[in-house]
Amino acid sequence: MSFWVCCNSCFLCSSAERKLAVTTCGHVICSICYQKGKPGKCLICSSKCQVSALSEKSSAEVKVLFSDINGTATKHFTEISKVLKFQTRHQKRILAYYQQKSKKLEDVLVKMRQEMQQMTKKLNEQSTYIVKLENSLQQQRTENMEVDDGSLFRKPVPATRLSFITSPQDGRLGPNRSPLQNSLSSKHSTSSATVSRFQGASLTPNISYSQTLAWKSPIFKPLSSFRHSMSSPGCPPL
Do 67 and 56 contact (CB within 8 A), yes or no?
no
7-16, 126-135, 195-204, 228-237: the lowest-pLDDT one? 195-204
Last residue of a domain, one of 129, 147, 165: 147
| Mean pLDDT score of the chain | 74
126, part of any domain: yes
Whether residue 109 sits in one domain with residue 43: no
Residue range 91-115: average pLDDT?
Answer: 95
Report the alpha-carbon distance of residue 203 to residue 111 in Å, rounded: 112
Report the alpha-carbon distance of residue 165 to residue 86 in Å, rounded: 127
Largest CA distance in the chain: 200
Report the alpha-carbon distance of residue 188 to residue 220 in Å, rounded: 13
7, with CB counted inside 10 A (0-12, 13-18, 19+), is buried
157, part of any domain: no
Residues 6+ apart with CB under 8 A from 180: 162, 164, 219, 220
Last residue of a domain, one of 132, 147, 162: 147
Range of the domain at 45: 20-67
Whether residue 95 sits in one domain with residue 42: no
Task: Specify which residues 169 forms β-bridges with.
Answer: 172
Question: In terms of pTM, does the model score above 0.95?
Answer: no
Whether residue 126 sits in one domain with residue 75: yes
165, part of any domain: no
pLDDT digits 0-9 by tens, 124-155: 999 999 999 999 999 998 888 877 666 555 55
104, part of any domain: yes
Whether residue 141 sits in one domain with residue 78: yes
Q: Which of 57, 52, 33, 55 is nearest to 44 (CA)?
A: 33
Last residue of a domain, one of 116, 147, 178: 147
Residue range 162-181: average pLDDT?
Answer: 50
C-alpha distances (whole Å) from 30 to each of 5, 17, 213 are: 11, 10, 173
191, part of any domain: no
Report the alpha-carbon distance of residue 196 to residue 220 in Å, rounded: 24
Structurally, how many domains does the chain consist of? 2
Q: What are phi and psi of 81, to 5 degrees?
A: -65, -40
166, part of any domain: no
pLDDT digits 0-9 by tens, 1-57: 677 888 999 999 888 888 999 998 889 999 999 888 888 899 889 899 898 888 888
